[in-house]
A and B are shown apart, each in its own frame.
Chain A
């Protein structure tokens, strides 16, 4: 479904990814794990067109991925950034409508995302920055789902959240996984990531140093210790 082949990328003159090779299969969850600064978020930003691909190729459904973020979004990839990036000038309703009115006609509607996250239904007229961290994460995921994506890309969805919210987000993403939504997940929380993922790649110093199934990484204490510090 999504394939990165020998991708080099980074911030300006600073190269972060060195020949990154990653493949996400349809209907499966791929977790990208690694220590801070390993290149996980850079990989997602490169996929989304927020950072330029200096060399290498990225294909989505067999075709080269678009260059500009808005074309990539239209091709069916929705992004939940690490910082959530809720628009503070917009209410919760407007944040949701921004996606639903542009990508309507699919399975995901505002009513359905409120069924998924009922808390958002109570906060529809609140400003984006009046939400707690957990509510902002729910809104960021709901907004991405309203794009009716074929691939959902999530960057550190548990970052800075209380354990009870982490469990809630985990359960909701598990529901989405069971429905067959393809996902790429970057995550520091090893237990969270490996309980959701089907496939795992471990990234170190801007390249893939290990790949396999979630069950395999759970059983591989040496890789966990060497590359993830678990």
Chain B
């Protein structure tokens, strides 16, 4: 096994696919936290909502419509959350934010139970992505390659917007110092709102792409919450690079840990988290300044 290059390639692809899924989910949370200093534990519930919306839309119009519409629908839920809770609680401090958004997880969880029921739902992998592809000499499911490519496209798109555009400069300025950004004529509140909605849409997108791999069930929001928090704590609570780094570390440690030391696989990632918190409590890639 150890000398089989194909085995390592396969595991690396698995790790990359898991990393990209976690990246899609965590990037929204890191940008929201970086810009708004708001701890939104309900972000995982938006991921679950994305999967449920996708299940409903895919049943009527197919997967591609779900991929397009579910993130928009989750962004719509984000608008309601922002107007109802987030905007009012921005100055309330982290403890109140954690308590309220933790409560929101259960509210959203029960709402999905009321609307979609307790039984897990399934989404078919679209026919176009149903086969296998030869990647670096190994046969790998096309759908998983699609997740990797989608993650890289979103990463590239966000890197371009954040790094090369005026709106990206405004977001980075707002993350660095929202008061000074406002003194330069930037409507930081409106910027917060837009970023929050984009973050919600990305959580919804993660839910859609995860749905064909996992069963869509009410508790998927709780299952994903801890890995997402670990990703952003490892990476550092700020913008893109840290979210990517955290997601890659998580994906590779989790995947290779399960293969190389299966007895320790359930504790390896927590050991990594503890090590980061002890050695570098601000994360491996903390914000500048």
* Residues of A that sit less than 8 Å from B by CB: 48-50, 68-70, 72-74, 78-79, 81, 85, 87-90, 94, 97-99, 101-103, 127-129, 143, 147
Contact = CB atoms under 8 A, between A and B. Distances in A.
Contacts of B172: 87, 89-90, 94
Contacts of A98: 166, 169-170, 173, 184, 186
Contact of A50 (B175, B183, B187, B289): B183
A4 to B, nearest CB: 18
A70 B185 CA distance: 4
Given A87-B177, A88-B176, A89-B288, A97 B182 contact: no
Interface of B: 166, 169-170, 172-173, 175-177, 179-188, 239, 287-289
Contacts of A87: 172-173, 176-177, 180-181, 289
A96 to B, nearest CB: 11
A99 B176 contact: no
A127 to B, nearest CB: 7
Given A69-B179, A89-B172, A94-B169, A103 B239 contact: no
B183 A79 contact: yes
B239 A73 contact: no
Given A97-B166, A127-B288, A48 B183 contact: yes
Contacts of B176: 87-90
A89 B185 contact: no
B161 to A, nearest CB: 14
Given A48-B183, A90-B176, A128 B289 contact: yes
A81 B169 CA distance: 20
A70 B182 contact: yes
Contact of B186 (A70, A85, A129): A70
Pick from B169, B175, B183, B288 the residue with the most CB of A within 10 Å: B183
Contacts of B169: 90, 94, 97-98
A147 B288 contact: no
26 contacts: A50-B183, A68-B182, A69-B182, A69-B183, A70-B182, A70-B187, A78-B183, A85-B179, A85-B180, A87-B180, A87-B289, A88-B287, A88-B289, A89-B172, A89-B176, A89-B288, A90-B176, A98-B166, A98-B170, A98-B186, A102-B185, A102-B186, A103-B185, A129-B288, A143-B184, A147-B184
Given A89-B289, A129-B289, A147-B185, 4 more contacts: A73-B185, A85-B180, A89-B176, A98-B169
Give chain B's interface secondary structure class: helix
A47 to B, nearest CB: 11
A78 B182 CA distance: 11
B35 to A, nearest CB: 11
A190 to B, nearest CB: 27
Given A74-B185, A98-B169, A88 B180 contact: no
Nearest to B170: A98
A88 B169 CA distance: 11
B288 A99 contact: no
B182 to A, nearest CB: 4
A13 to B, nearest CB: 15
Nearest to B289: A88
B279 to A, nearest CB: 23
Given A73-B182, A89-B176, A90-B176, A101 B166 contact: yes
Nearest to A102: B185
A87 B289 CA distance: 8
B45 to A, nearest CB: 30
B97 to A, nearest CB: 19
Nearest to B182: A69
A81 B180 contact: yes
A74 B182 CA distance: 10
A128 B181 CA distance: 14
Nearest to B180: A85
A94 B162 CA distance: 12
Contacts of A48: 183
A85 B177 contact: yes
Contacts of B166: 97-98, 101
Nearest to B176: A87
Nearest to B168: A94
